[in-house]
Structure formats: C-alpha cells, structure tokens
C-alpha cells in the first residue's frame, strides 16, 4: 500500500528518527495519526513533501518488558492499524484506491478479522478458491 516507502525503508518502527526544523515545518500539519502507525505516516509525509530519507545503523535491543503493546492489546489493534495505513495511502495518494487489497480491507469487520487471525491458512485457502 506504500510502495515508495517500501523501496527505501524495511522496518519503520525500529530506528531513531531525526528531523530538521525545516522538515518538521513541512510535514507536521499533514500528520493525522498519533497511534501506533504514526511512524509510517511521518516517513510517508516526508516522501510526499520531497524530504529525503537517510538510514544510519543503530544498536537496538528488543525487550518484551519495554514494549508498549503486548498480547491481546496488540492483537485487538491489528485491523485498526491496517485501516490507519490504508488511510495514509489514501491521503498521500501512494496507491490506486481501487487496488484489490485496499478494497478488501474496507470490507472487513472486526469479527471477520478475528476469524482470519484464528486460522489464517483456512482463510487464505478459501479466499484464493473464490478467486478473489
């Protein structure tokens, strides 16, 4: 859903992000998401406004104890996060809004999403059999 970003960034969450004052002045007014996918929107906004992205290596140690989202809380927010990413792709025009994946996510309810999470293999098999 965000092809330009995917060409430049592999992991939007693990990394230190630094912005110049000029870059922030260009992007802050367009930022609408302040929950978990906010990091994606920051990077997409930079690309949209012509701000170059650079990567630098840093040491990072993942820690369950330090995580801000764990277990059931994380699972309950997956569909919401995906829908926020769909929203980002729409606002920044990063993908054709008639794209099958975008349309698919617009049709899902929370209940359907939980069914997919419970048995993704069955869902994908049925989905592919229908030719969707």
What tokens were used for 112?
A: 């359907």
Task: Per-residue pLDDT tens, the chain, 132 aa: give them.
Answer: 677 777 777 777 767 788 899 999 999 999 998 887 888 899 999 999 999 888 777 776 666 655 555 555 554 567 788 888 889 998 998 888 888 888 888 888 888 888 888 888 888 788 778 876
Q: Is 39 in a helix, a strand, or coil?
A: helix
Predicted pLDDT of residue 115:
84
Predicted pLDDT of residue 51:
93
What's the CA gap between 121 and 28, in Å, rounded? 40
What's the CA gap between 52 and 123, in Å, rounded? 39
Count CA atoms closer than 13 A to 29's CA, side-chain side: 4
Predicted pLDDT of residue 9:
73
Is the sign of the CA dihedral 10, 12, 15, 17 positive or negative? positive
Write down the residue that tokens 């369950």 correspond to.
Answer: 64
Cβ(79)–Cβ(108) under 8 Å?
A: yes
Predicted pLDDT of residue 72:
52
Predicted pLDDT of residue 71:
53
Rounded to the nearest angstrom, the gap between the alpha carbon of residue 16 and the centroid of all alpha carbons in its chain is: 17
What's the CA gap between 27 and 91, in Å, rounded? 13
Per-residue DSSP letter, 76 = H
The pTM (predicted TM-score) of the whole model is: 0.65
């Amino acid at each position: 859903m965000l092809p330009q970003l995917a060409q430049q960034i592999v992991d939007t969450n693990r990394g230190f992000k630094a912005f110049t004052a000029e870059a922030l002045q260009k992007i802050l007014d367009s930022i609408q998401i302040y929950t978990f996918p906010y990091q994606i929107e920051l990077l997409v906004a930079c690309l949209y406004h012509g701000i170059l992205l650079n990567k630098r290596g840093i040491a990072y140690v993942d820690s369950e104890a330090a995580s801000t989202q764990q277990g059931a809380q994380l699972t309950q927010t997956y569909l919401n996060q995906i829908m926020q990413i769909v929203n980002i792709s729409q606002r920044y025009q990063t993908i054709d809004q008639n794209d099958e994946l975008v349309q698919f996510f617009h049709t899902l309810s929370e209940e359907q999403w939980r069914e997919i999470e419970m048995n993704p293999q069955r869902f994908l098999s049925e989905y592919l059999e229908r030719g969707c």
